[in-house]
Amino acid sequence: MLKKRLIGMVVVKNGWAVQSFGYKKYLPLGKPECIVENLDRWGADEIIVISIDRSKDNLGPDFDLLQRLAKLGIDTPIVYGGGIRSVEEGVKVIQVCADRICFDALLHSNLNVVNELAASLGVQALIGVTPLSLNDEEVELFDYQAGTTKIIKSDELIKISNTVSELLVVDWRNEGQPDSFDFNLIDRLPSFNVPLILFGGISTVKQMQALFSNENISAVAVGNFLNYKEHAIQNFKERLTDMPLRTAKYENSIIEIS
Amino acid sequence: MSRITIGIVDYELGNHASLLHSLKKLNYRVLVSDEPSVLDQTDVLILPGVGAFPMAMKALKEKKLVSYLQQQAQINRPIIGICLGMQLLTEASYEGRYTKGLGLIPGETIELAEPLSHIGWNNIDRVNSDSILEGVEGKVFYFNHSFAYEGPSSYIKFTANHKKKITVIVRHGSVVGLQFHPEKSQAAGRELLNKLIIGMIDA
């Protein structure tokens, strides 16, 4: 049986890992490599690294960071997002380090590139990122580059989701705030053909249990809240044994936490 | 026995860094090359791959590696295909357009129907026992694919269940295909890779 995934999210700004709050306030954490290395050691099911300033500043993917991550030789799948503008850049991101890529701006600026990426890399390598929120029961999409929101219709969301293998839905307003994920957002989303990854304001076991119980949700991503405690992934998994998750393992031990 | 050398077949699709690190952690000597003269110096060939089947076959043809790999299989050289690498071992794939593969394992690569992709960690179930794959039953590995093997059941060693059975390990003599990524499957992946390499050399 396919397991649900507990994903570690690493937000990178100006080359540094940061704690992010609502896509507008940031606190430095340190070198992204150190955070990624910890998440790998703690047994994260996947690690998403997003360089949030690369598209906004038209810098392209952060290949220096990707090369540093590749040198770590970690055993955990890496998803990279940030600055991908073309098929060539997406392919190079995979060649340098990542197992999969994710993107937000590209979904709205050039779906042809997304389709070409699928032809080159396989659709399974692609994750679409959609920062969403609810306003008077309407689903709104946040445009990070412009700093504005606009209503996004269900058919538009479905069209986007059909170009990727999973959709990463970000509750951007509540991102970084503990126990604040807006569950009403899920209820207002259309029925997708692809599974959802959820991120933003997810910090408690109770929230995770509720989300993992939803058959349309394949994974939950956690950012800030994994950095407050050593072995945070294991700590969550120890308390989620009733959920279909992979058992967490310590890197230097064969003892399973059950 | 002298130190075992693994040859990673480099046809410029996907990244080799993780596989290279995994093999080095297991204390193997590793050569990454597209040159038959270099790959000839190794004990086991690994064909990795992330991407689409037609592009991968095109790259293998351009590097004149198709006939080399077919010849190596004929002389019973151990060959392991990983993910797309496993699919390339088959006779053909329907990804994008019908494309002939290496033909080292009877069967074809077909698109997954509902669900469309098999992404994440899944445990594997034994179909046919195999001495080089003992102890692998029930272990959990990382998958990331939208196409899968379909062929004679005699070559199928393990499957995974994702609403239906998906073939995840195939073997035909000295050729083994793994649909998952052992190099991205943490301790379970390294254990399997080690077991497989030693088993294939001793076989």
Nearest residue, CB atoms, A3 vs list B13, B122, B147? B122
Q: Are strands B29-33 and B44-47 parallel, antiparallel or unpaired?
A: unpaired
How high is the pLDDT of residue B114? 78
Which of B119, B122, B179, B191 to mutate to probe the A interface, most A CBs <10 Å?
B119
Q: Is A231 on the interface with B (CB under 8 A)?
A: no
The length of chain A, given as a count of residues: 258
**Chain A neighbors of B84, CB-CB under 8 A:** 122
- The residue segments making up the domain with residue A82 are 5-239
Q: List, in order, residues 6 or more apart from A48 with CB less than 8 Å away.
A: A7, A8, A9, A10, A78, A79, A80, A81, A102, A168, A221
Q: How far is B15 from chain A (nearest CA, A)?
A: 4
The answer as to whether A244 is a domain residue is no
Cis peptide before B115 (omega within 30 of 0): yes
B36's tokens: 């038959």
Q: How many domains does chain A have?
A: 1
How high is the pLDDT of residue A227? 82
The answer as to whether A81 is a domain residue is yes
How high is the pLDDT of residue A256? 39
The answer as to whether A248 is a domain residue is no
Q: How far is B75 from chain A (nearest CA, A)?
A: 31
Contact status, residue A50 vs residue A9, Cβ threshold 8 Å: yes
Question: In 10 A of CB A87, how many CB atoms?
Answer: 18
B51's tokens: 């991407």
| Domains of chain B, first to last | 5-202 (3.40.50.880)
Please give the Cα distance from A106 to A86 (Å, whole number).
9
Contact status, residue A181 vs residue A202, Cβ threshold 8 Å: yes
State yes or no: pLDDT of B115 exceeds 90. Answer: no
The answer as to whether A138 is a domain residue is yes
The answer as to whether A101 is a domain residue is yes
How high is the pLDDT of residue B139? 95
The answer as to whether A193 is a domain residue is yes
Q: Taking all residues of chain A, what is their mean pLDDT, rounded to a whole number?
A: 92
A residues 103-122 closer than 8 Å to B (CB): 119-122
Q: How far is A27 from chain B (nearest CA, A)?
A: 30
CATH number of the domain to which A169 belongs: 3.20.20.70
Q: Is B146 on the interface with A (CB under 8 A)?
A: yes
| pLDDT, tens digit, 9 for 90 and up, residues A155-204 | 999 999 999 999 999 999 999 999 999 999 999 999 999 999 999 999 99
Q: Is B122 on the interface with A (CB under 8 A)?
A: yes
**Residue (of A176, A208, A169) closest to A190 by Cα position:** A169
Please give the Cα distance from B109 to B103 (Å, whole number).
11
How high is the pLDDT of residue A249? 65
B183 noted as active-site residue: yes
Q: Which residue has the tokens 């080399």?
A: B68
The answer as to whether A250 is a domain residue is no
State yes or no: pLDDT of B175 exceeds 60. Answer: yes
| pLDDT, tens digit, 9 for 90 and up, residues B11-47 | 987 778 889 999 999 999 999 999 999 999 999 999 9
**Per DSSP, what are the bridge partners of residue B79?**
B45, B175
**Chain A neighbors of B17, CB-CB under 8 A:** 70-71, 73, 96-97
B162 noted as active-site residue: no
B62 noted as active-site residue: no
**Residue (of B58, B56, B55, B30) closest to B45 by Cα position:** B30
**Chain A neighbors of B162, CB-CB under 8 A:** 1-2
- Of B167 and B15, the structure prediction assigns the larger pLDDT to B167
Q: List, in order, residues 6 or more apart from A86 with CB less than 8 Å away.
A: A113
Catalytic residue among B83, B95, B118, B145: B83
Q: Is A194 on the interface with B (CB under 8 A)?
A: yes
Contact status, residue B70 vs residue B9, Cβ threshold 8 Å: no
Q: List, in order, residues 6 or more apart from B45 with CB less than 8 Å away.
A: B6, B7, B9, B39, B69, B72, B77, B78, B79, B80
The answer as to whether A256 is a domain residue is no
State residue A118 phi and psi, 5-degree precision.
-60, -40
Residue A257 binned pLDDT confidence (cut-offs 50, 70, 90): very low
State the number of CA atoms in the 13 A half-sphere of A19 facing the CB.
Answer: 14
Report field, pTM of the whole predicted structure over 0.90: yes
